Amino acid sequence: MSLWDRLLRSRRVTREVRDELRAHLDERVDDLVEDGVPEVEAYRRARVELGNATRAIEDSRGIWASRVLDQLARDLRWTWRGLRARRGRAVLAGVLLALAVSANVLVFVAVDALVFDRNPYPNVRQLVTFDRWLVAADLAEWRRQPDLFASVEGWFSGTTFLLGADRAEHLSLVNVTPGLFESLGVRPAWGRGLTRDDSARMDEQAVLVSAALARRRFGSPEASLDQLIPTAAAPLRVVGVMPPGFSFPSNGSDIWRVLDPAGPLMRNRAGLSGIGRVQDGMSFSTLAQAVTQRSPAVAASTGVAKDIVYKVQPYGLVRGGRDRVRMFDVLLGAALCLLLTACVNVLNLELTVVLGRVRTFAVQSALGASRGTLIRVAVLEGLVLVGASGLAAWLLATLTLPALGAALPEPLRLSTSKTLALDGRAMVYMLVMAIAIWVIAALPPVIYTSRLDLSKPLKIDDRSTSPRRVGTRVRRVVTIAQVALAVLLVIVGGLYVRTYSSLLAQPKGFDSTNLASVSMALPMRFYPSAVSMRQLSDAIVERLRAQPGVVDAIDGPTPPSIGNSPTVGVRMVIDDQVRDAGTSRTFALAVTEIDPRYLQFLQVPLVAGRWLAQGDDPTAAVVSDRVATRFWPSVEAAIGGTFDAVDQSGRRTRMWGSGAHRVVGVFADYRTHDRDGPYASRAPWEEIDAFVARQPLAPPPTVGPGELDTGGSYGIVGVLARLDSHERANAVLAAVRRIDPRLTTSIEFVDDVYAEQYRTTLLATRIVGGFAVTSFIIAMAGLYGVMAFLVAGRTREIGIRMALGADRARIGRFVMGSSLRLVFAGATIGIAAAVLVSRAIASQLFGVTPTDPTTYVTVAFVTIVTASLATWQPARRAARVDPVQTLRAE
């Protein structure tokens, strides 16, 4: 018989026996009345003869229900009554806990997915990546080492333009060798996997697609099988659909195309990223050693290079840099602080309840409830509270998770192959938290209850203050802790806010007002040559200049990009002398062809020499004052100087331009990369940028036919336009779109592009700030509660003081003073903690020192003002105590 049935039966028996007893009584009364007994007397006698009806019912029920169950039922009933009696407070406690727990779960889920991407594929523990690109010969050679590797596969990312009815969709596409997914331990959920035969056909290429793409384009995964997708190059044949949620190598990939490492897709490519699956039973360290040892032999037999050392590393378990990990530490810390504040506040509320219920307990124990019952009820109340708020938190987290996912900055979202989900780990985390909460917030009242002196229970009131005294002391400590936590969080939040605003306020070094970038991604099928692309960009510039609201437009890279990617690992040749960047660094040189007016258009100031001019040949270059003073004694001395680059062995490298350049002008450096920000790349090279005038293009196409095959080769045409207001953006975009409606055209403001770099910081700022404000409010509410309780408990004392001559202002000051003492203690602890914590997060701060006086003083000031406001009402109530009334109550 189930517990429920038993409880139900227990209720039924109670009801039936009660009915029977009532009938019995009535029958007896009727009998007596018939015998001539007056009705009132008859009723009395009937009751006497019947005896203790309640005991009869209890005994009857006891026969059916087991003792334990009955007790449980009664405990539950009392628990329910207890919770109902403190409706508002119980709900408040539940809401507080639910908020704090859901915040914690969300942060945990994000950290779990974004930092610890543990198990994206079944075989992940056996997977290693190669630290250099592999060519077909490398792959073949490593596959011939079956004692080390079960398989060696390769992949590279690209893009493709899927042609639709009216426009080209630009999607990322990953080229994978046929066995790659098998190595990962993943199979398509619909259709079949890629095979070696697939890689032989180039007129139509076999692809696997994501379930999301299949749904979007064909309605369902089943419907997409065997479909042909037209692209700007060879069409793609869908042979299989991957399971929902699958991604490789990171989020945002939708198409995986079969790749023959020796086939035409590899034309013009330096190599592939390699993934090896370690042979069963081989440890990583053994493998790493063996790979290093066999490197020379493998390199020799590939015939590609001689002195290559291959290295492998475990497939990325911890993603993101140290900074990101540290940022998540802060978020997790903030969430835990918030939780702790909420717990402490709930503890505060619970203590009030227990203190307020000393009398109730006394009455209950007088009615025969044992100490055990009281403790059980107190435990149950805590469990019900924590359980209910846990459920609410789970619900809240489920509801807000999609919003969190959407708020994640793109680079963060794409850096993981996991989607944010409330999985088993989150469940375990929450369970652990719930237990911790119970211990912090619900256990102390239980202990307190168990220690209550129930021998003199009914005497406990305002006069015998011992339990209240104890409670008040505990609550003082609790309030100090709350204030300290809140102050700590608010200071950290404040430092983040200041960091974000300093980041945004960094001078860019050019005029970004209303500066917009209009860009189009071009399939090479439509624009096969650099000439045709140049023609398109000229057409866009022309259209923009004619467009109302456009002040000026120019063809050129969108800052912070400088256009060309730099050639890294070079040594500079300055005025025919070879220069090195330093012992552990090299130079990275980028020489970009621009419209000669480009820098003037940006309103970058000229420091020395002249601007580039139409007709300058590519040897004439302008450099920033940073570069000029890096190599020459002054900016003036740089004019006429020459620079060039050679590789580490001293050979001229031709990748970036045509030989030596001569400095004709020096401009004031403007902010291109995030060179000085908190997340500045710690790249081991020093970047040197230079601009030369763009050259007229020779008519024959400069793009080789090999690149066309992939269908994803494309150029980006980017045009800068200075508008007269932000509102013009849509009209401008529409005008440009009309030039070639097939293309994906977009517009964005340069200021937004810069702000985008700090979106992660913004997100952290918002989260920490939100937590800080919440915990501050909780702490102040807690302070108010304690002071109100204190005043209520001391009414008599205050009354006596007043009767003895204390004036109202003094009483008010007395209450205010005892409140502010708590706040000072809390704030001091909080500030001390903040000094320690902020030092640990110093690397994430920018434009503000960890012990920024403004932040600390402001927070201290705000805390004291708010605390005074929170105490104002209780203080006023204390001052209004009427001594006559208080003493009369004696």
Partner 1 sequence: MMILQTLRLGPLHGYALAQAIRRQSDDLVHVEEGSLYPALQRMLKAGWLAAEWGTSARNRRVRIYRLTTAGRQQLERKVSAFERLLTGITKVLRPHES
Give 46 or 488: the residue with its C-beta nearer to partner 1.
46
Q: How far is the CB of 796 from partner 1 (least distance, A)?
A: 48
- Closer CB to partner 1, residue 47 or residue 652? 47
Taking CB under 8 A as the rule, does residue 410 contact partner 1?
no
Instruction: Tell me if 21 contacts partner 1 by CB under 8 A.
Output: yes
Examine residue 52 and tell whether it contacts partner 1 (CB under 8 A): yes
The residue length of the chain stands at 890
Q: Classify residue 279 by its DSSP letter.
A: P
* Residue window 83-122: x/- pattern of binding to partner 1, with contact defined by CB under 8 A: ----------------------------------------
Amino acid identity, position 396: L
Bridge-based pairing of strands 567-574 and 642-646 is: antiparallel
Strand partners, 392: none
CA distance 341 to 485: 7
Nearer Cβ to partner 1 (13/574) = 13
Binding of partner 1 by 44 (CB under 8 A): no
CB 728 within 8 A of CB 551: no
What's the Cα-to-Cα distance from 11 to each of 16, 17, 70, rounded to whole Å? 9, 10, 10
191 beta partners: 240
Residue 804 interacting with partner 1 (CB under 8 A): no
CB of 405 to partner 1, least distance (A): 59
In three-state form (DSSP H/G/I as H, E/B as E, the rest C), the secondary structure along 45-59 is HHHHHHCCHHHHHHH
Among 19, 826, 884, which residue's Cα sits nearest to residue 478?
Answer: 826
User: Which window, 15-23, 279-287, 630-638, 722-730, contacts partner 1 (CB under 8 A)?
Assistant: 15-23
> Which of 8, 50, 363, 889 forms a contact with partner 1 (CB under 8 A)?
50
Shortest approach of partner 1 to residue 6 CB, angstroms?
13
Q: How far apart (Å, rounded) are the C-alpha atoms in residues 644 and 654? A: 10
Q: How far is the CB of 44 from partner 1 (least distance, A)?
A: 14
Q: Is 724 in the site for partner 1 (CB under 8 A)?
A: no
Is 49 among the residues that bind partner 1 (CB under 8 A)? yes
225-229, long-range: CB within 8 Å, 24+ apart, which pairs? 225/190, 225/191, 226/191, 228/204, 229/162
Beta bridge partners of 586: 685
Q: Site residues for partner 1, window 301-340 (CB under 8 A)?
A: none
Minimum distance of partner 1 from residue 797's CB (angstroms)? 52
Asked if residues 469 and 814 have their Cβ atoms less than 8 Å apart, the reply is no
Taking the least distance from each CB to partner 1, the nearer of 63 and 165 is 63
Binding piece for partner 1, criterion CB under 8 A, among 18-26, 302-310, 318-326, 583-591: 18-26
* Min CB(55)–partner 1 separation in Å: 7
Of residues 28, 215, 359, 626, which one binds partner 1 by CB under 8 A? Answer: 28
Helix axes 466-505, 443-451, angle to 10 degrees: 170
Do the strands 685-693 and 586-594 form a parallel or antiparallel pair, or are they unpaired? parallel
The window from 10-18, 66-74, 733-741, 758-766 that contacts partner 1 (CB under 8 A) reads 10-18
Nearer to partner 1, 49 or 423 (CB): 49
User: Taking the chain, what is the end-to-end CA distance rounded to the nearest angstrom?
Assistant: 57
Give Cβ neighbours of residue 549 (< 8 Å, ≥ 6 apart): 723, 724, 725, 728, 731, 732
Secondary structure of residue 129 in the 3-state scheme: strand
Dump strand ranges (E) for 10-164. Answer: 127-130, 149-163
Nearest distance from residue 15's CB to partner 1, in Å? Answer: 12
Q: Amino acid identity of 266?
A: M
Restricting to residues 259-278, which ones interact with partner 1 according to CB under 8 A? none
Could you tell me which stretch among 22-30, 373-381, 505-513, 592-600 binds partner 1 (CB under 8 A)? 22-30
Between 17 and 815, whose beta carbon lies closer to partner 1?
17
Q: Is 55 in the site for partner 1 (CB under 8 A)?
A: yes
Q: Does 33 bind partner 1 (CB under 8 A)?
A: no
Of the residues 11, 15, 38, 59, which one makes contact with partner 1 according to CB under 8 A:
59
Neighbouring-strand partners of residue 27: none
How far is 404 from 343, CA to CA, in rounded Å? 24
**Does 8 engage in binding with partner 1 (CB under 8 A)?**
no
Q: Please identify which residue in 3, 15, 19, 675 interacts with partner 1, judged by CB under 8 A.
A: 19
39 lines the binding site for partner 1 (CB under 8 A):
no
The binder of partner 1 chosen from 33, 44, 64, 504 (CB under 8 A): 64
Retrieve residue 34's tokens: 């018939």
Smallest separation (angstroms) from partner 1 to the CB of 69: 15
Given 7, 33, 37, 56, the residue binding partner 1 (CB under 8 A) = 56
Give whichever of 20 and 882 is closer to partner 1, judged by the CB atom.
20
What's the closest the beta carbon of residue 20 comes to partner 1, in angstroms? Answer: 5
Query: Of the two residues 13 and 290, which places its CB atom closer to partner 1 in the complex?
Result: 13
> Residue type at 195?
T
Spatial CA neighbour of 495 closest among 16, 153, 840, 122: 840
Nearest in space to 525 (alpha carbons), one of 701, 700, 699 = 701
Choose, by CB under 8 A, the member of 3, 8, 15, 30 that binds partner 1: 30
Cβ neighbours of residue 746 closer than 8 Å, sequence gap 6 or more: 518, 519, 520, 733
Nearer to partner 1, 24 or 673 (CB): 24
Which of 47/196 has CB closer to partner 1? 47
Helix (H, G, I), strand (E, B) or coil at 155: strand
Query: At a CB cut-off of 8 Å and minimum separation 6, what does 73 contact?
Result: 7, 10, 65
Does residue 5 belong to the site contacting partner 1 (CB under 8 A)?
no
Please report whether residue 27 would count as binding partner 1 according to CB under 8 A: yes
Please choose, out of 45-53, 138-146, 338-346, 650-658, the segment that lies near partner 1 by the rule CB under 8 A.
45-53
Closest by CA position to 234, among listed 248, 254, 255, 249: 255
* Residue in the block written with tokens 């060309």: 564
Q: Considering beta carbons, is residue 42 or 764 the nearer one to partner 1?
A: 42
Q: How far apart are CA 270 and CA 289, in angstroms?
A: 26
Q: Which is nearer to partner 1, 8 or 477 (CB)?
A: 8
Token pair listed for 56: 């009869």
* DSSP single-letter state for residue 175: E
Task: Please give the DSSP secondary-structure letter assigned to residue 465.
Answer: -
Q: CB nearer to partner 1: give 2 or 52.
A: 52
Least distance to partner 1, CB of residue 26, Å: 6
The window from 17-25, 129-137, 407-415, 760-768 that contacts partner 1 (CB under 8 A) reads 17-25
Is 7 a binder of partner 1 (CB under 8 A)? no
133 binding partner 1? (CB under 8 A): no
What values do phi and psi take at 693, rounded to 5?
Answer: -70, 140
Among 17, 114, 485, 495, binds partner 1 (CB under 8 A): 17
Alpha carbons 56 and 14: distance in angstroms, whole number: 10
Task: Choose which of 33, 37, 53, 530 interacts with partner 1 (CB under 8 A).
Answer: 53
With CB under 8 A, what is the number of residues at the site for partner 1?
Answer: 26
Residue among 494, 103, 500, 118 at smallest CA distance from 333:
103
Decide whether 63 or 804 has the Cβ nearer to partner 1.
63
Q: C-beta of 60: minimal distance to partner 1 in Å?
A: 4
Query: By CB under 8 A, which span of 27-35, 169-177, 218-226, 230-238 interacts with partner 1?
Result: 27-35
- Burial call 84-104: b when 16+ CB within 10 Å, e when fewer: eebeebbebbbebbbbbbbbb
Point out which residues bind partner 1 (CB under 8 A): 13, 16-17, 19-21, 23-24, 26-28, 30-31, 49-53, 55-57, 59-60, 62-64
